[in-house]
Amino acid sequence: MVDKREGGVVRRFNIYLIVLLILLLLPLTGCVHTRSALSRVQGASDVRHLEVHFIDVGQGEAILIRSPSNETILIDAGPLSSGYKVTHYLEKLNIKKIDRMIVTHMHQDHAGGLFHFLPQLQVETLYDNGADLSGNDIYEEYLIIVRSLGIQRKTLKFGDRLQLNDLTLDVVSPIDKLSGDLNADSIVIRLRYGDINFLLAADLTKNGEKKIMDKGVHLKSHVLKVGHHGACDATSETFLDAVRPDIAVLTVSKENRFGYPCKEVLQLLKKKNIRMIRTDLFGTVVIRSDGNQIWICDNP
């Protein structure tokens, strides 16, 4: 006859071993599975999967996309003070060429890093929203460096689509004529790979959100890059209901002078049971997908 106390000890010991094994494995993988009960964890540089890197550039934004076929897209380059971070990050990943570069708008926290980045890495094609911002210092310097390097420059507008094999990038904003408000005129991208969608909202404000919804654009996405760093002038409840994300990424720096992210936005995301990932708390975050499932990783 087996002593019940002995059996209980054995069970507790087995549970302890399982938990210990999981804790030991997590630091090695750096990835947390977020969809489906069939949990899998991927290695650090599995180019068979889509990778979306939300690079920690402080108060600003830079998003690197690597397609399953290893094509590269960079959306914004952070502020001038963090341009070197983007360059070093790409070097660490052995990326020597950017196939598509998208500048969402000409604010320095999104476009400033270009002046450090562009002279050092090859950029095949560069896209912006086509706004004529004559007199804007960043815009004028941007034109000079793009022309001097001979980079092909194109305009993106609502309804445009970039196709990279199985990866699709649809431009959902700006809609109609540009308003002159740099944030509202931001290029907003809906990225699709298989059954997984990312909505990358740049510095889109509530007015821009309303224009997209009034146009009847399908916005449902698994991952939302929250507009305007979580400021109070972006991310309406109606917009969140249209996107219905599982994950919200906020690109923001610690103790920034703007007070981002806004308390009301955080409360709204919590109310909707949306998982929040902040670069001020977690640093650079990588989200990987095989077109059906998603993994959140804390290292490139």
CATH number of 34-297: 3.60.15.10
Q: How many residues does the chain have?
A: 300
Distance CA 204, CA 122 (A): 28
What is the helix (H) or strand (E) element at residue 16, kind and residue range?
A: helix 4-29
Cα dihedral across residues 154, 158, 159, 165: positive or negative: positive
Where are the domains positioned within the chain? 34-297
Cβ neighbours for 169, distance < 8 A, ≥ 6 positions apart: 73, 161, 162, 163, 189, 190, 191, 192
Q: DSSP for 57-70?
A: -SSS--EEEE-TT-
- pLDDT tens for the 300 residues of the chain, in order: 545 444 544 444 444 444 334 333 444 346 766 553 223 333 444 447 999 999 999 889 999 999 999 999 999 999 999 999 999 999 999 999 999 999 999 999 999 999 998 998 999 999 999 999 999 999 999 999 999 999 999 999 999 999 999 999 999 999 888 988 999 999 999 999 999 999 999 999 999 999 999 999 999 999 999 999 889 999 999 999 999 999 999 999 887 777 779 999 999 999 999 999 999 999 999 999 999 999 998 666
CA dihedral of 274, 279, 281, 285, whole degrees rounded to 10: 80
Q: Rounded to whole angstroms, how far apart are CA atoms 188 and 27?
A: 34
- pLDDT for 299: 62
Whether residue 298 contacts residue 286, with contact meaning beta carbons closer than 8 Å, is answered with yes
Residue among 257, 269, 199, 197 at smallest CA distance from 230:
269
